[in-house]
A and B are shown apart, each in its own frame.
Chain A
């Protein structure tokens, strides 16, 4: 049953959120984000009842970009900065894990209150999107290393992508491709800036980026 498989994949993505929150090693966060991207890229293929070349191509491209290209960019930035481990973050690992779990539970509970189309009730898209959104925010705000913050941003984008799957039949391909392109270029630009941060400050600890103030 494709609906249950899709739910399982979204469940896996939500589990990966928690894995990313608990990791203190940057490579494992990047890996979690990569796997999450691939899992989410697979979902449109499973949602279509009949095989469509265009949808398949977009799905494959999304998986390639989110699962390989973007993690490769981040991995390169990480290696050039010689970082491997997160320093003690602003929001500790156990609190952020508990926060993410509480957010996941709240998302599942809260999504019931929102009116959904009949074909979308019983799916985990909205809870998954909200949970990923919260996880992304916690990582963005709570971590100190630039690459971890970028991973948080990517998880945020994954959550929004998950929500966008609700509209997959009405969002034309042009818009989807445009969004994907923007995301890719965005990460590319981020990679360049991370490199510049490394060169200017000799570290990716964003706590050093405090020169600018009143």
Chain B
């Protein structure tokens, strides 16, 4: 009984709190720009509105067009359940679950790209190509960061990896993971979520032809992915797993809020990089994680 309630609670936290983050980011951007901006709960209203609408389907597209968002959402929810929320650990936890975590995120990305290619439009194809080629570099950085955590804690279970404090390379790891967060969630400087020019889009253009409930599913999945990365970043750096539940929850919430604030500030202060410079930035993120890994491996000495 208790485990069931716990799992339900965990699911609700992820599902209900995730759409808050993009709203907060927009609020930060509006504040920096001196505007009022959309309310923080805007994404909830958007999801509700989209759910009531009908779907526009192309008769050229296969069922994969609808299956893509659905499977992707399920994959992201699965990855979210794997991620520990403080000392409580993950919804499901077993040895090697970090690999499943990475692969679930990859499946979600695959499904989005598949659904984009289903439309047969040149714009979506272009977006899918860009997204996937940048994802190669971003995944390298992510995997290196995970390796660092693994070497530090000596295990491949997410709960054990994220529990203790970060080692000597905490700053480097945080910087690398933040860059990966920005890349994976299509934020400036990798991709501008507010652009209306299709040729400059990466992620937005992939979901250009979705409408109604599938679009709601896609947006919700993106919000959950952002929350996943934020939670991962906060737990990688802070020793949340060692605190008492209440204090841990507070620190976790504060950390996620801090990351959201950071993303908002970065979006306001930087411009999107030219596409040919993105590999350089991702390589830098990879090198930051690599140096964190070396520091963890050599035990902080030279």
Interface residues of A (CB under 8 A from B): 7, 18, 22, 93-94, 97-98, 101, 105, 108, 111, 122-124, 127
Complex partner residue of B287 from A18, A108, A122, CB under 8 angstroms: A18
Distance between Cα atoms of A124 and B295 in the complex (Å): 13
Distance between Cα atoms of A111 and B298 in the complex (Å): 14
Distance between Cα atoms of A123 and B301 in the complex (Å): 9
B287 to A97, Cβ gap below 8 A?
A: yes
B294 to A105, Cβ gap below 8 A?
A: yes
B302 to A97, Cβ gap below 8 A?
A: no
Distance between Cα atoms of A166 and B248 in the complex (Å): 47
A203 to B: closest C-beta gap in Å? 23
Closest to A123 in B: B302
> Within 8 Å of chain A (Cβ to Cβ): is B93?
no
Q: Closest 8 CB pairs between A and B?
A: A124-B302, A101-B287, A94-B283, A93-B280, A94-B280, A94-B279, A97-B283, A108-B302
A121 to B: closest C-beta gap in Å? 10
- Name the A residues within 8 Å of B284 (CB-CB): 18, 22, 97
B33 to A: closest C-beta gap in Å? 26
Chain B contact residues (Cβ within 8 angstroms of A): what range?
A: 10 to 19
Q: What is the interface of chain A mostly: helix, strand, loop, or mixed? A: helix
Q: What is the interface of chain B mostly: helix, strand, loop, or mixed? A: helix
B301 to A122, Cβ gap below 8 A?
A: yes
- Name the A residues within 8 Å of B298 (CB-CB): 108
Contact bitstring B19-33, A, C-beta under 8 A = 1, else 0: 000000000000000
> Within 8 Å of chain A (Cβ to Cβ): is B219?
no
B120 to A: closest C-beta gap in Å? 33
B109 to A: closest C-beta gap in Å? 23
Distance between Cα atoms of A176 and B221 in the complex (Å): 62
A63 to B: closest C-beta gap in Å? 24
Contact bitstring B280-293, A, C-beta under 8 A = 1, else 0: 10011001001100
- Name the B residues within 8 Å of A124 (CB-CB): 302
Distance between Cα atoms of A188 and B285 in the complex (Å): 37
A122 to B283, Cβ gap below 8 A?
A: no
Closest to A95 in B: B283
A97 to B280, Cβ gap below 8 A?
A: yes
A-B contacts counted at CB < 8 A amount to 29
Distance between Cα atoms of A22 and B285 in the complex (Å): 12
- Name the A residues within 8 Å of B287 (CB-CB): 18, 97-98, 101
Distance between Cα atoms of A123 and B291 in the complex (Å): 17
B294 to A22, Cβ gap below 8 A?
A: no
What would be 29 A-B contacts, judged by CB atoms less than 8 Å apart? A7-B302, A18-B284, A18-B287, A22-B280, A22-B284, A93-B280, A94-B279, A94-B280, A94-B283, A97-B280, A97-B283, A97-B284, A97-B287, A98-B283, A98-B287, A101-B287, A101-B290, A101-B291, A105-B290, A105-B294, A108-B294, A108-B298, A108-B302, A111-B302, A122-B301, A122-B302, A123-B302, A124-B302, A127-B302
A122 to B: closest C-beta gap in Å? 6
- Name the B residues within 8 Å of A127 (CB-CB): 302
- Name the A residues within 8 Å of B291 (CB-CB): 101
Closest to A125 in B: B302
- Name the A residues within 8 Å of B290 (CB-CB): 101, 105
Closest to B302 in A: A124
In this complex, which of A18, A94, A122 has the most chain B Cβ atoms within 10 angstroms of its Cβ? A94
Within 8 A of A (CB), among B244-285: 279-280, 283-284
B160 to A: closest C-beta gap in Å? 27
- Name the A residues within 8 Å of B294 (CB-CB): 105, 108
In this complex, which of B279, B287, B294 has the most chain A Cβ atoms within 10 angstroms of its Cβ? B287
- Name the A residues within 8 Å of B279 (CB-CB): 94
- Name the B residues within 8 Å of A94 (CB-CB): 279-280, 283
Distance between Cα atoms of A97 and B285 in the complex (Å): 12
Closest to A11 in B: B302
Distance between Cα atoms of A7 and B302 in the complex (Å): 9
Distance between Cα atoms of A122 and B284 in the complex (Å): 26
In this complex, which of B279, B280, B290, B298 has the most chain A Cβ atoms within 10 angstroms of its Cβ? B280
- Name the B residues within 8 Å of A123 (CB-CB): 302
Distance between Cα atoms of A22 and B290 in the complex (Å): 16
B4 to A: closest C-beta gap in Å? 49
Distance between Cα atoms of A22 and B288 in the complex (Å): 13
- Name the A residues within 8 Å of B302 (CB-CB): 7, 108, 111, 122-124, 127
Extra 14 A-B pairs, beta carbons < 8 Å, given A22-B280, A94-B279: A7-B302, A22-B284, A93-B280, A94-B283, A97-B280, A97-B287, A101-B290, A101-B291, A108-B294, A108-B298, A111-B302, A122-B302, A123-B302, A127-B302
